[in-house]
Amino acid sequence: MPAFYCYENEYGIFMIHPLTLTLDDQLLRDRNISVCIYRGDLEYADAPGNKWHKLRFNLAAAKAQGAKHLISFGGPFSNHLHALANTAQQEGMIPVAIVRGELQPQLTPTLRDFVAAGGILWPSKRVDYRAGMESDFVSSLKGYYPDAFWVPEGGSNSLGVKGCYYWANAIKQQADEIGSFDTWLVSAGTGATSAGFLANDNVPNMLVFPALKGGEALLSDIHSLALQQNPDSHLQRLSIVGEYHHGGYARLPSELKDYIEQLHQLNPHLRLDPVYTAKLVYGVEQEIRKGKLTNQKLLLIHTGGLQGWRGYQ
Ligand SMILES: Cc1ncc(COP(=O)(O)O)c(C=O)c1O
C-alpha cells in the first residue's frame, strides 16, 4: 500500500493512495473506516479524469464514419469541451462547440484553448441550448456540417458510458492490489460515468454525489444508461447522496473553498476541482461525521476537471 503518493510498479503508475481527511484519524480508526482515492486526474493530460473515457469510443465512431467535424455542447468553462478539442485535433478532426449563452468579447481560457486547438465556436441562446439536438439552431448547423459526428453535452451517450464501463476495469485491477474496497464514491453531472461503473459487475457498491441541485433525479437516467450497456446490471448497488451540491452547479461558497484549501494542506500533492470532486470529498466527510460509512474501505474516484479552476480566478 503506498504510504503517500502514486508510485510506479510493473503495471505502470499506481494511481491509488490513501486520502487524509480533515477528520480525526482516531475517529476513523474507531469507526473502522479507511479512505483512498484513485487519481484519475493524473491520467491523459489532454483529457484527464473521466474525460478520455467518455470520449474514446465517440472518437473511434467518428473516425470510422469519416467525420471531419466533431461537434458538442458545453458552457464557457466546460471540461468536456476542453478535452474534446484536444482529442479531436489529435485525431485529425475539427472540433466545433455550441457554447451556452452569449460569447463575451474576452473568451474564457477554456474557449481560448478550444480555438487554439483549431476549434470553431457557435454561441447559442440559452433557450436553444436547452432544446439541444431538437433546436432549430442545431438543425441549421447540421446543414453547415453534413459530415459531422455529434456528441451530446458531457459526452453522455452510450459510447461515453461504454468508455466508463472499461475504465472501471482498469481501476478495479489496481484496487485489487490493495485489497477489496466496499464502496466506490464518485461525483456526477449527467450520470454517464456512474452508469458505466454501475453496468460493470466488477464494481462494488457505489455512492454518487451529484454536483447539481436536484441530483436525486439522476437515478433513473443512470439506471437506464447502465441497462443499455449491460441489461443485467445490478441496479441496487448504487445510491445517490444529493445534499452536497453547495447551491448548484459551479457554485463555490466560501465554506467549500476553505475546505478545498484545508484538504490541499493535508494532501499537498492533491488538487480537487471546484465543481465536482471537491463536493464529493466534502460530502464523504460529512457523511462520516453523521455516523455513516462505518466499517468500510472507501475508494473515491478523482474525475479530473482541474482546468475548471480558471473560471474562479
Ligand atoms: C471533472 C468532472 N467530474 C465529474 C463529472 C461528472 O461526470 P458525468 O457527467 O459522467 O456524471 C464531470 C462531467 O463530465 C467532470 O467534468
How do the pLDDT tens digits run along the chain, 313 residues long? 444 455 555 555 678 999 999 999 999 999 999 999 999 999 999 999 999 999 999 999 999 999 999 999 999 999 999 999 999 999 999 999 999 998 788 999 999 999 999 999 999 999 999 999 999 999 999 999 999 999 999 999 999 999 999 999 999 999 998 889 999 999 999 999 999 999 999 999 999 999 999 999 999 999 999 999 999 999 999 999 999 999 988 899 999 999 999 999 999 999 999 999 999 999 999 999 999 999 999 999 999 999 999 999 7
According to the model, what pLDDT value does residue 7 have? 59
According to the model, what pLDDT value does residue 4 have? 45
According to the model, what pLDDT value does residue 8 have? 58
CATH code, 68-147: 3.40.50.1100
Which residues, at least 6 apart from 199, have a Cβ–Cβ distance to it below 8 Å? Answer: 161, 165, 225, 226, 227, 229, 230, 233
Longest Cα separation, the chain: 63
* 280: alpha, beta or left? (left if phi > 0; alpha if psi -120 to 50): alpha
Nearest atom in ligand 1 to the alpha carbon of residue 193 is: 10
According to the model, what pLDDT value does residue 3 have? 42
Q: Is the CB of 190 under 6 A from ligand 1?
A: yes
CA distance 273 to 277: 6
296 C-alpha to ligand 1 centroid (Å):
25
Q: How many CB atoms lie within 10 A of CB 78?
A: 26
Question: CATH 3.40.50.1100 spans which residues of the chain?
Answer: 5-48+158-312, 68-147
242 C-alpha to ligand 1 centroid (Å):
15
**Measuring CA to CA, which residue among 165, 288, 294 is closest to residue 222?**
165
**Range 5-48+158-312 classified under CATH 3.40.50.1100:** yes
CA distance 52 to 117: 16
According to the model, what pLDDT value does residue 10 have? 54
Contact criterion met (CB below 8 Å) for 148 and 138: no
Instruction: Quote the cell numbers at residue 49.
Output: 479524469
Q: Say which residue the cell 448548484 belongs to.
A: 248
Amino acid at 131: A
Nearest atom in ligand 1 to the alpha carbon of residue 78 is: 16
Q: Tell me whether residue 177 is exposed, middle or buried, using C-beta atoms within 10 angstroms of its C-beta: 0 to 12, 13 to 18, 19 or more.
A: exposed
In this prediction the pTM is 0.95
